[in-house]
Chain A
Amino acid sequence: MSQNSGLLARVTARGSYRYVTVALAMAVFFALPHLIAPFQVFQLTQVLIYFLAVLAVSYLAGYSGQVSLGHSVFFAIGAYTVAITSDRMAMPVVVTAVLAFVIAAVIGAVTAVPALFMTGSYRVMVTLALAVVTPMILVRFAGITGGSQGLPVPPQQAPPWTGLADDQYVYYLALAIVAVGLFLIRNLALGRLKRGQIAVKENEIVARSLGIDSARLKVVAFSASAAVASLAGVVYAYLVGYVTPSGVGLLLAVYLLVGACVAGLKAIHGALFGAAFLVYVPEYTSGLDPSLGAVFFGGTVIAVALLMPDGVTGWILSRLKAWSDPSSARAPDPHRPREQALTRVIDTTSASAEKSI
Chain B
Amino acid sequence: MGITGQRNRTRVGAIGAALVLTLGLAGCGARDEANGANDPGITDTEVVLGQSIPFSGNLSIFAPNSKAAQAVFKRVNAEGGVAMGDGVTRKIRLIALDDGYDPSRTLANAKKLVERDEVFSLYAIFGTPSNNAIVNYTTSKKIPQLVSVIGSSTFGADPETTPYAMGINAPYATEAAIYAKRAEKSNPTAKIAVLYQGDDQGEDFLKGLDAAVEGTGMKIVAKQSFAPTDTTVESQVVNLASSGADVFLNLTTPKFGAQAIKTMIASDWKPEMYLPAFGVAVIQLLTPAELQTVSGIHAGLVTRDPGQEGWATDPAVVDYLKTMKEYGDGSFDPLDRTAIFGAVSAQTMIEILKGTKKPTRAAMMDAARSMDFTVPMLADGLALHTSADDPFALEGLVINTLVDGRWTPDEVVDFDGKTNR
Chain A residues with CB under 8 Å of chain B are: 15-16, 19-20, 22-24, 26-27, 30-31, 34, 37-39, 42-43, 46, 139, 142, 147-150, 152, 155, 158, 162-165, 168, 236, 239-242, 244, 246-247, 251, 283, 286, 290-291, 293-294
Contact = CB atoms under 8 A, between A and B. Distances in A.
Contacts of A16: 6-7, 10-11
A164 B30 contact: yes
A139 B6 CA distance: 57
B55 A291 contact: yes
Interface in B89-122: 96-98, 100-104, 107-108, 111-112, 114-116
B128 interface: yes
B308 interface: no
A30 B18 contact: yes
A150 B127 CA distance: 12
A300 B133 CA distance: 29
Nearest to B127: A246
A240 B103 contact: yes
Interface of B: 6-7, 10-11, 13-15, 17-18, 21-22, 25-26, 28-31, 33, 55-57, 60, 63, 66, 96-98, 100-104, 107-108, 111-112, 114-116, 128-129, 132-133, 136-137, 140, 152, 198-200, 203, 331
A34 B32 CA distance: 10
Contact of A39 (B10, B17, B108, B198): B108
A283 B55 CA distance: 13
Contact of A142 (B13, B57, B203): B203
B288 to A, nearest CB: 37
B200 A34 contact: no
Nearest to B329: A291
A138 to B, nearest CB: 11
B97 A290 contact: yes
Contact of B132 (A150, A155, A165, A291): A150
18 contacts: A15-B10, A19-B14, A20-B10, A20-B14, A23-B14, A39-B115, A43-B108, A139-B198, A147-B200, A149-B128, A149-B129, A149-B132, A165-B30, A240-B104, A241-B107, A246-B129, A251-B100, A290-B63
Contacts of B66: 290
Contacts of A30: 18, 21-22, 25-26
A180 to B, nearest CB: 17
A255 to B, nearest CB: 10
Contacts of B115: 37-39
Contacts of A149: 128-129, 132, 152, 200, 203
Contacts of B31: 34, 38, 165, 168
B64 to A, nearest CB: 10
Contacts of A139: 198-199
B56 A23 contact: no
Residue from B11, B28, B98, B140 having most chain A Cβ neighbours under 10 A: B98
Contacts of B200: 147-149
Contacts of B116: 37, 39
B3 to A, nearest CB: 9
B96 A290 contact: yes
Nearest to B27: A163
A163 B199 contact: no
Nearest to A38: B115
B55 to A, nearest CB: 4
Given A46-B108, A293-B55, 8 more contacts: A19-B7, A31-B22, A43-B108, A168-B31, A236-B104, A242-B107, A242-B133, A244-B129
A19 B10 contact: yes
B102 A247 contact: yes
7 closest cross-chain pairs (CB), A and B:
A39-B111, A23-B14, A242-B133, A294-B56, A16-B10, A19-B14, A148-B199
Contacts of A148: 198-200, 203
A162 B63 CA distance: 43
Nearest to B32: A165
Nearest to B11: A19
Q: Pick the most buried of A27, A152, A236, A294: most chain B CB atoms within 10 A of its CB.
A: A27
Contacts of A291: 55-56, 60, 63, 98, 331
Most A CB within 10 A of own CB, among B112, B129, B152? B129
Nearest to B229: A136
B98 A293 contact: yes
Contact of B17 (A23, A42, A158): A23
A291 B330 CA distance: 13
B224 to A, nearest CB: 16
B133 A240 contact: yes
Contact of A241 (B108, B133, B198): B133
Contacts of A31: 21-22, 25
Contacts of B96: 290
A38 B115 CA distance: 7
Contact of B56 (A158, A168, A236, A293): A293
A42 B102 contact: no
Contact of A242 (B11, B57, B129): B129
Contacts of A19: 7, 10-11, 13-15
Nearest to A286: B98
B14 to A, nearest CB: 4
Contact of A34 (B18, B25, B107, B132): B25
Given A149-B203, A150-B129, A38 B111 contact: yes
A108 B375 CA distance: 55
A68 B386 CA distance: 51
Given A139-B198, A240-B103, A152 B203 contact: no
Contacts of B112: 39
B47 to A, nearest CB: 21
Contacts of B98: 286, 290-291, 293-294
Interface-centre pick from B14, B29, B137, B140 (highest chain A CB count, 10 A)? B14
